[in-house]
Amino acid sequence: MRIALDAMGSDNHPVPDVEGAVLASKTYGVTVVLVGDQSTIKRELQKHDTIGLPLEIVHANQVVDMDDKPAQVTREKPESSIHVGMGLVEDGQADAFVSMGNTGAVLAIATLQKLKRIRGVHRPALSSIVPFVGKHVILADIGANVDCKAEWLHQFAQMGSIYARQALHYANPKIALLSNGEEEGKGYSLIHETIPLLLADDSLHYVGNIEPKEVVHGGADVVISDGFVGNIFVKSLEAMGMALFDGIKGEIMATQRGKLGGLLLKPTFRSVYKKFDPFEIGGAPLLGINGVVIIGHGRSNAKAIQNAIRQAKFAVEGDVVEAIKDGINNRSV
């Protein structure tokens, strides 16, 4: 298996990207094709022992910055590492593309220029896979599409369900709609319009509306929302998590007693943090595209990037793209 990695993706590229590639090629037996500025990648690779590892480099002339506007990137940076890496998948020279880079740019390039939507897919969905209570929960959409239609949400549910089955090996993934309450009648118009579509679809194990608290407690395997709501949800969880950890850290460092307690609880904090750490999964698929594209966070470290490559491997092994093609076009999975 050959997985193309955007070596110019993360905030600190190419350092964690290259290290993640080295770790993944060593651990998972996949060939990692590093895409980006050749001399930069070569220099970075020299810091690692790569003898015998299945690593390759494909040069790309341009780098997409985190604050580049997607529309600008598609126009002005046609030779970016994102374009080149996705092109490898398009040409059959790689089985998947992984990037920690500018999400909007990856999305725009995938949708408009490379790979493109699977026929029959209304809108690709940006997903996130979050480790809630030790279980991997797929959230979709978390930001690709605002102002959604019910048919789109229905497809997000189908694609999320297929991914959960094929890549995460969930036997009968529980699908839920993110809402402000579980009772019938809760939600807003889009939710009311989506429910009958999910209920009528025998391929889906739809379990109802679900509140944030239930999501965090693992109440469903695939949680569907429009991209605006999903984005607010994910960012709210992250914001609160960061605020609490920062708050605790600040208080601990303020007193001698706190420092001692903090030292004793180091394993505790590490273990709790790990339970919610998105880097344990590393990246999540852009669903509905003609190819496996895994997107991770710009802040990713090498471990996260290694894990994102593993996620790509799961998606390729699960033949997710073909399964979505079949599922969407037959309306039965």
Interaction site with a second copy (CB under 8 A):
143, 146-147, 178, 180, 187-189, 211-213, 215-217, 226-229, 231-233, 235-245, 247-248, 251-252, 257-258, 260-265, 267-269, 271-272, 275-276
Q: Measured from the CB atom, is 52 or 267 closer to a second copy?
A: 267
Minimum CB separation of residue 191 from a second copy in Å reads: 8
Minimum CB separation of residue 195 from a second copy in Å reads: 14
Residue by residue, DSSP assigns 244-293 as: HHHHHHHHHHHSHHHHHHHHHTHHHHHHHHHHH-GGGT--EEEETBSSEE
Q: Measured from the CB atom, is 143 or 283 closer to a second copy?
A: 143
Q: Residue 218, by phi and psi: left (phi above 0), alpha (psi -120 to 50) or beta?
A: left
Residue 141's identity, in one-letter code, is: D
Q: Measured from the CB atom, is 91 or 147 closer to a second copy?
A: 147
Q: Measured from the CB atom, is 126 or 328 closer to a second copy?
A: 126
Number of C-beta neighbours around residue 113 at 10 A: 16
Minimum CB separation of residue 199 from a second copy in Å reads: 20
In what helix (H) or strand (E) does residue 209 lie, and over which residues does it extend?
strand 205-210
Rounded-to-integer distance, Cα 50 and Cα 311, Å = 22
Q: Measured from the CB atom, is 245 or 280 closer to a second copy?
A: 245
Minimum CB separation of residue 193 from a second copy in Å reads: 11
Residue 85's identity, in one-letter code, is: G
Minimum CB separation of residue 144 from a second copy in Å reads: 11
Minimum CB separation of residue 29 from a second copy in Å reads: 34
Rounded to whole angstroms, the maximal C-alpha distance in the chain is 65
What end-to-end distance do the CA atoms of the chain give, in Å?
26
Q: Are 292 and 95 in contact (CB under 8 A)?
A: yes
Minimum CB separation of residue 125 from a second copy in Å reads: 15
Helix, strand, coil proportions of the chain in percent (round to 5)? 50, 20, 35
Decide: residue 185, CB within 10 A, 0-12 exposed, 13-18 middle, 19+ buried.
exposed
Minimum CB separation of residue 277 from a second copy in Å reads: 12
Q: Cis check for the bond before 141: say yes or no (omega within 30 of 0).
A: yes
Q: Measured from the CB atom, is 169 or 249 closer to a second copy?
A: 249
Q: Measured from the CB atom, is 143 or 160 closer to a second copy?
A: 143
By C-alpha distance, which of 311, 329, 333 is closest to 95?
A: 311
